[in-house]
Structure 1
């Protein structure tokens, strides 16, 4: 659709979408609806009905949960190009987490009904969506293992690398738009511990810290610290 033509190049930067058959790429973009969110606006909340598959094409989204006493668990902070929402496509169950716009954001929504109709016509495409979900599942298992087995510093470095590579969806980015408080929340670390580790990395010339951002100066040395 001409309306979405300028988003095509952006989503093709992502590894999952770029590997899809051309016909499936076209079908997803043809069915997609554009949604704009202001900073802080909620996209969906845990327990909301399944609405479809989302692609983030501009801005940043925060995925997590908030307890009854207001404590936040931040799972991921995502930037374009990133597809999410596939769990509810498979099981039709409500959303598992909350999703909020971290900054003004633009998303493509492929509605649940359109996806199910497409997959009814072309069941071979289920595997493509399964690959999207299995990739996220691998990341989740790795994160659980790291939380249990790794000390704070290598755990933080590995998460920095994962975010820099957009969770395996793109080439490494030099600047991560992430506040230290958010990184601490993701890793269940204190703000003080997170700051101490980042300051040590900065002293070694591996990263540079600015307000709300972490700039990676030496990707290879950062990978070395992850090992």
Structure 2
């Protein structure tokens, strides 16, 4: 295999891609271009023109925004085999957030014009792309509800659980490469509160804290803590 097809098996580990019709999987791989990013490199920024649909196949991406004062709002950290960028495909509007490489990363890019041409020829595939967006919209509504109604500790446990399960796009993983400062940004809670909750979860044997990463030791108990 050459080019994007090198990553076909990796992509099929993701629930969305694996559930696509075989013809659509093949069309996406045939159109995809490989894009390499170095640590911290911007893929796109808020306000940029639509540039297509992306899949993380190696490394990870930080999705968020920075205000005029330089304060960062980190929304999510995504890793392979996660697809993103579909909002601008639907409305043709500029990018809503910034996307930066979290370490050296490899992406597949299906260009906007190519994908729109495919969807014009095969309009039944719009539903498949819509399912990608609706899954994220469902998670966003849940996060908004939890922000308003749930205490910090179960919200933090819930976010760790989602990341461990790659937001429903893959099998659970044991290690989350995420500094505590970034986790605090995601949840809009203080660094001190984040550390306190993580230490408590560690003392209960649910996880282990290492430099720049969180190792999940007991996924089932973490699910209970997230309730």
TM class, shorter-chain normalised? over 0.9
- CA shift, 1:6, in A, is 1.6
Stretches of structure 1 that go unaligned for 5 or more consecutive residues are none
Could you tell me how far 1:2 is from its partner in structure 2? 2.7
Where 2:48 maps in the other structure, the secondary structure is: coil
Tell me which residue corresponds to 1:116: 116
Instruction: Report the Cα distance in structure 2 between the residues aligned to 1:202 and 1:2, rounded to whole angstroms.
Output: 43
For residues 169-188 of structure 1, the aligned pairs below 5 Å read: 169-188=169-188
Counterpart residue number, 1:150: 150
Q: Distance in 2 between matches of 1:214 and 1:3?
A: 33
Q: How does 1:5-44 map to 2 (within 5 A)?
A: 5-44=5-44
Alpha-carbon shift at residue 71 of structure 1 (Å): 0.3
Runs of 4+ that moved beyond 4 A: none
| Aligned partner of residue 68 in structure 1, secondary structure | coil
For residues 201 and 91 of structure 1, the distance between their equivalents in structure 2, rounded to whole angstroms, comes to 42
> TM-score, normalized by length of structure 1?
0.99
Q: Residue in 1 aligned with 2:201?
A: 201
Could you tell me how far 1:61 is from its partner in structure 2?
A: 0.5
- Whether the aligned pair in 1 keeps the contact of 2:3 and 2:33 (CA below 8 Å) is no
Aligned residue pairs, count: 227
Give the alignment's Cα RMSD to 1 decimal. 0.7
Offset at residue 188 of structure 1 (A): 0.2
Q: 1:171 Cα shift?
A: 1.1
CA distance in 2, matches of 1:12, 1:171: 11
- 2:64 is paired with a residue whose SS is strand
**Match in the other structure for 2:65:** 65
Distance 2:2 2:38 in 1: 24
Distance 1:4 1:116 in 2: 19
Alpha-carbon distance in 1 for matches of 2:5, 2:187 = 38
- Partners in 2 of 1:167 and 1:220 — Cα distance? 16
Asked if 1 retains the 8 angstrom alpha-carbon contact of 2:60 and 2:103, the reply is yes
CA contact (8 A) 2:40 2:102 kept: yes
Report the CA distance between 1:4 and its aligned residue. 2.1
Counterpart of 1:79 in structure 2 is 79
Distance 1:149 1:110 in 2: 39
